[in-house]
Structure 1
Amino acid sequence: MDKNINDISNKEKIAIVVVGYNRIDSLSRLLQSLSVSKLPNSVPLVISVDCSGNEELYDYVKSFRWQFGDKYVFIQSKRLGLKEHILKCGDLSKYFKAIVLLEDDIYVSPFFYDYIEATVNKYSTDTQICGIGLFKNEINGYAQIPLEFLNDGADVFLWQEVCTWGECWTYSMWSEFRAWYDENENFSFEKIDIPQEIKMWKNAWSRYLLAYMIQTEKYFLYPQISLATNFNDCGVHVNELNNTYQVNMLYGSKQYILPEFAELNKYDIYCANSKLYALLNMSQSELTIDFYNLKEKKNYKRWILTSAILNYKIVKSFGLNLHPYEVNIMVNNSGQGLFLYDTKIRCKNIEKNALYSYFYGNLRLNILIKGMIGFLRNKFISRIKL
């Protein structure tokens, strides 16, 4: 251990906390990306490695040279598992102005620290923000199709989704969640309206932060362009290397446009932009927005806005042409792609679901299908050869 963290007080600095287990190549790649980043002269680095018995990795992190400031190395004496390890690393936020937590399969933009400094300085005292994300999702992981957010000129937006691929917390953000978690470790996720897939996760720490965020009506702050990407390396939760979560990152310096909280676009866990309620002259208590068709039907309100074809009366419809989807409502684009239903009146609808053609187009959808057939054929042949 290079330094004892209990002996320091570094509340003026935003520290980088790197989390690893047994993947030396992944950890090395992340640390190298940090080493070539545009950083100020004094940035503390904490490397926390869960107990794996990998002596080569232990020696590597101990000998790794950090030229930007103090380095702290913690090798856990017993196996914590990812959830407990992340919680323990989040607790390190009490020693610093804020921490940036990076798991070992993350890779950062050279300009990530400018974004972190700007957003921490702007939003650190905003009690409705419970974390700052570096990664901007380009795929809706629950629906497995593209994900888009409105770009109104601001460099950030708010979303009730936990960023786990590069995240930042001040101690006030983290400590409020930690207090909630300590009282709700046995939380029943059936209480809250979240995608069904999340309810089936067994060991994910992030679903607790998500439940906390929804119950307390808080948000994560996200960038309009990512400051980190994800290699999704093989490990405990991933069996095969893939590029599913590689995203476009910022490769240049910029001055960030950071509006006040009230002015930011706000999305719920289902990617519904809160501005749509006013545009449709309805409240959240009477209207369900389910563009990706992920909500459980038992949670539907009387009025539903969705791309799905349902057997209720269509009171208004919009085209699915402009991106992202909410722009079609903002400009009142006519068409048959988004439907506002009244669930009190049942009727048979024969419209065509336009969701996939909206994202892929007919030509691209054909290419996608052919590519999938080819992928499955190659998989089948490779298994036969084995």
Structure 2
Amino acid sequence: MATMAFTQPKKNLLPLLLFLFCISVIILLILLSETTHSVSQRDATLQLNHNNALPPFTFLIKVLTFNRLHSLSRCLLSLSAADYGLAGNSQRIHLHVYIDHFSLSSPDSKSVGDRLSNAKEILDFVDKFEWRFGEKLVHYRTGNAGLQGQWLEAWWPSSDHEFAFVVEDDLEVSPLYYGFLESVIRNYYYDRSNYDPSVYGASLQRPRFVPGKHGNKLHVDPKTNVFLYQLVGTWGQLLFPKPWKEFRLWYDEHKSKDKKPFLDGMVTNGWYKRLGERIWTPWFIKFIHSRGYFNIYTKFPNERALSVSHRDAGVNYGKTAGPDSQLLNKSTISSDFLKLQPLSNLKWYDYCFSEVVPGRVVKSLNELGTILPSVQREKTVVLVSLFDADKMFIRNLLCHFEKIGTRNHVFIGPSSELFYDLSRRGHPVIDADMFLDKLVKSKSSYSNSAKEAMGNAYVVKKCLELGYSTWVFSSNALLVDKSPLLDRVRSEYDFYIGESSGVLIVQSSPVSQKLWSNELLNSIISSATKNLDFIHLVKELVERKGKMIKTVETMSIAENNNANSVNQSLGDGKPVVYWSPEVDSNVIRTKLEELKLWLIDDDLSCKAVICHSSLR
């Protein structure tokens, strides 16, 4: 009886234990499933999966229309006739039609009754229009928003996986347009190894003009179908979510402060002065200039394109101008046009249609020897130190380089946000820490001034080996005119120094090449531990060798309170101004503004785009 009393409860516990075990397994499987789903979602946001399938994304077609029924019908029919492959089955391609309302105060000859009738015709057509590939949404405004409002209010991305393809109603697209844009999204957005945050989207229109006055002719290698160009293309523009959000916030900030999108030297200035807030492109162009972003463009033979504007009468055209190009179709292009090259292989162009080469970061002496030939102009290299540099003065210096047409500059300094942003924008940079890593022992124990001296010394030596002269500038000096400097350094001297201004010019000559030997280089490196600045070290060592040094005429703006006196000095041919790093940066900025040498705006971007035909 005792045994039976003991075993009976044990048997009753077994079902309970089994039940609890099953519940535990189910909970574990749920947690495992959630974890796997979370990881999968995270990985999907970063890259394509192993079978090269695109992660789920939303493609929104934003059609902007007003009172052109014929144009709208042609546009929608071309969109519905495009090849969407299997994408339409996943309900990810949605059509959003934005119909602007007519203005009751419009001065045109049409009566209100005529305008009401026209609006109803458009609404009836859109209501009946069948869209098989996803959701159709119609937004009929209660007031006249205009072209700017239509564009800017059409989209706020709901996620980083939502893309907008914006078309105005007089546009017609190729049946191949979506296949190309999907390939762009696949290759240049989701492929992390081929992604660049500087790219804000893709335009399908044929590139037609250069907005920078006196810019280069728009010429691309006939074998090149895809390139990058800063200019937005309003005739079929794909927009990436993050840059568009950034622009809208930037626009709100500038608009609320009553700032205007003026950018001197651009054709778009005339557009804005004539049309004002009726158009939106000058705002976006100004934003792109301040950020240094780029747009993907296509270029096909015989003036063909993936989208065509019929340039019907409206805001942009007083009367219909007709199609600007011809639509691309399967019979006019090879089947491999969707096989896009890596982003690093493409050409990049600015508003002047001058080539920009982003991502040039020098990390070794060998890399320096490779990059200098592409930097030099007339066998001269301008080396600018970024050690302890103030961001706004470097930006201002770049605007002066652009103004006087200096393209042969290279920056050297420690790794920083500014450093890599300059590289992203196309300015070659030398990462001083990595550059000195194998050249100098125990470099980490050196001060910034020592690293600056050693880095500059090695760069000058490499320039001389290649037969190039070197102009070395500190971040507290500003080259405002290179012509007088060029005239002065063509004399018999091999070394020119502005000791207070931090300027050194080493001429490429047998004397300087022999003097700047390993012996002199080693002397500079050994003396760097004294924390003396680079210019002072060179002056001391060259004089010790018994060589003559010519003084570069410069002007200190911090020590001279008379703006007229400084302007007179500059007029007399002093091409360099400088200031002591101990002087407050706001004081220096005020001085430069008084002298009209402050060329940047509140975004730290140049107030003007200056194209130089001589640099073509």
- 1:26 matched to 2:71? The reply is yes
What CA distance in whole angstroms lies between the structure 2 residues aligned with 1:257 and 1:149? Answer: 22
- 1:265 matched to 2:376? The reply is no
2:201 counterpart residue number: 131
Distance 1:122 1:49, change over 3 A: same
1:234 counterpart residue number: 313
Q: How many residues align?
A: 292
TM-score (norm 1): 0.66
1:85 counterpart residue number: 150
What CA distance in whole angstroms lies between the structure 2 residues aligned with 1:32 and 1:16? Answer: 13
Instruction: Give the conservation status (yes or no) of the 8 Å contact 2:348–2:356.
Output: yes
What CA distance in whole angstroms lies between the structure 1 residues aligned with 2:99 and 2:254? Answer: 27
- 1:187 matched to 2:259? The reply is yes
Deviation at 1:236, TM superposition (A): 3.0
What CA distance in whole angstroms lies between the structure 2 residues aligned with 1:132 and 1:206? Answer: 15
What CA distance in whole angstroms lies between the structure 2 residues aligned with 1:260 and 1:198? Answer: 35
Q: Secondary structure at the match of 1:221?
A: strand
2:287 corresponds, among 212, 218, 231, to 212
- 1:163 matched to 2:228? The reply is no
Distance 1:86 1:285, change over 3 A: farther
Q: CA RMSD in A?
A: 3.6
What CA distance in whole angstroms lies between the structure 2 residues aligned with 1:285 and 1:15? Answer: 47
- 1:223 matched to 2:298? The reply is yes
Stretch of structure 1 that moved more, 154-163 or 186-195: 186-195
Deviation at 1:260, TM superposition (A): 3.5
- 1:50 matched to 2:122? The reply is no
Instruction: Give the conservation status (yes or no) of the 8 Å contact 2:262–2:286.
Output: no
Q: Which has more radius of gyration? A: 2
What CA distance in whole angstroms lies between the structure 1 residues aligned with 2:259 and 2:159? Answer: 25
Distance 1:198 1:220, change over 3 A: farther
Deviation at 1:12, TM superposition (A): 2.2
Structure 2 residue runs of 5 or longer lacking an equivalent are 1-54, 103-115, 190-194, 358-371, 384-399, 408-481, 488-612
What CA distance in whole angstroms lies between the structure 2 residues aligned with 1:13 and 1:176? Answer: 19
Distance 1:285 1:68, change over 3 A: farther
What CA distance in whole angstroms lies between the structure 1 residues aligned with 2:137 and 2:230? Answer: 32
What CA distance in whole angstroms lies between the structure 2 residues aligned with 1:206 and 1:127? Answer: 21
1:121 counterpart residue number: 186
Which AA in structure 2 matches 1:217?
G
- 1:70 matched to 2:122? The reply is no
What CA distance in whole angstroms lies between the structure 1 residues aligned with 2:147 and 2:56? Answer: 26
Higher helix fraction: Structure 1 or Structure 2? 2
Distance 1:64 1:302, change over 3 A: closer
Instruction: Give the conservation status (yes or no) of the 8 Å contact 1:180–1:212.
Output: yes
Report Cα offsets for 1:154-197 as digits up to 9, x if no partner. 53211111111110112223111112111122334446653343
Which AA in structure 1 matches 2:147?
L
1:281 counterpart residue number: 376
Identify which of structures 1 and 2 has the higher relative contact order when contacts are C-alpha pairs closer than 8 Å and 6+ apart. Answer: 1
Distance 1:278 1:115, change over 3 A: farther
TM-score (norm 2): 0.42
Instruction: Give the conservation status (yes or no) of the 8 Å contact 2:166–2:238.
Output: yes
Q: Secondary structure at the match of 1:83?
A: helix
- 1:148 matched to 2:223? The reply is no
Instruction: Give the conservation status (yes or no) of the 8 Å contact 2:216–2:352.
Output: no
Instruction: Give the conservation status (yes or no) of the 8 Å contact 2:204–2:235.
Output: yes
Q: How does 1:345-364 map to 2 (within 5 A)?
A: none
Instruction: Give the conservation status (yes or no) of the 8 Å contact 1:20–1:49.
Output: yes
Which AA in structure 2 matches 1:216?
R
Deviation at 1:148, TM superposition (A): 3.2
Instruction: Give the conservation status (yes or no) of the 8 Å contact 1:138–1:146.
Output: no
Instruction: Give the conservation status (yes or no) of the 8 Å contact 1:139–1:146.
Output: no
Which AA in structure 2 matches 1:194?
M
Instruction: Give the conservation status (yes or no) of the 8 Å contact 2:262–2:282.
Output: no
Deviation at 1:25, TM superposition (A): 0.5
Stretch of structure 1 that moved more, 86-95 or 67-76: 86-95
Deviation at 1:279, TM superposition (A): 4.8
Deviation at 1:16, TM superposition (A): 1.3
Stretch of structure 1 that moved more, 120-129 or 71-80: 120-129
2:276 counterpart residue number: 202
Distance 1:173 1:241, change over 3 A: same
Which AA in structure 2 matches 1:262?
S
Stretch of structure 1 that moved more, 131-140 or 52-61: 131-140
Stretch of structure 1 that moved more, 169-178 or 247-256: 247-256
Q: Secondary structure at the match of 2:308?
A: strand
Deviation at 1:111, TM superposition (A): 0.3
What CA distance in whole angstroms lies between the structure 2 residues aligned with 1:36 and 1:168? Answer: 19
Distance 1:183 1:44, change over 3 A: same
Instruction: Give the conservation status (yes or no) of the 8 Å contact 1:303–1:343.
Output: no
What CA distance in whole angstroms lies between the structure 1 residues aligned with 2:120 and 2:199? Answer: 39
